[in-house]
Amino acid sequence: MDFLIMNTISLFWIGVTVVVVIVTLIAFTYIAWVYSVRAHRHRVMTGNEDMIGKTAVATTDIGPEGGRIFISGESWRAFSESPIAKGDRVVIKSLDNLDCLVEKAEPLLPAASSRGPESN
């Protein structure tokens, strides 16, 4: 009789272990599937698609003859239809091979004063 009770208890725990392992594998597979679907829904974040529209800083004067900009830790060759001074912020409009066509960025709005309007 003891043998049947011990055998039944052992079979019970083996069944519980199998169920726990199967549920864990199903949960892991589902989570991996959800993250892979999310990853495929994001747009491409490298190459031309990522750089166009980004703001950079002119490290040299830039004009039709060329110059240099600094963006994302890298120095790029840049051209502009109008002159841009060293240190100005620029926006990348297009890329042709490794050359950026840029234009001067709109100035940042000044921070609002916490004191309100100045009075004399």
3-state secondary structure of 50: helix
Alpha carbons within 13 A on the beta-carbon side of 26: 6
pLDDT, mean of residues 22-48: 86
Q: Is the pLDDT of residue 79 over 90?
A: yes
Q: Which residues contact 99 (CB under 8 A, 6 or more apart)?
A: 66, 76, 77, 78, 79
At residue 105's C-alpha, the angle toward residues 102 and 109, to 5°, is 170
What count of residues does the chain have? 120
pLDDT, mean of residues 63-78: 91
Task: Give the mean pLDDT of the chain.
Answer: 83
Q: Is the pLDDT of residue 12 over 60?
A: yes
pLDDT, mean of residues 71-79: 90
C-alpha to C-alpha distances, 24 to 14, 20, 27, nearest whole angstrom: 15, 6, 5
Q: Is the pLDDT of residue 114 over 70?
A: no
The backbone torsions φ and ψ at residue 52, rounded to the nearest 5 degrees and listed phi first, read -65, 130
How confident is the model at residue 25, as a pLDDT? 97
Q: Is the pLDDT of residue 46 over 90?
A: no
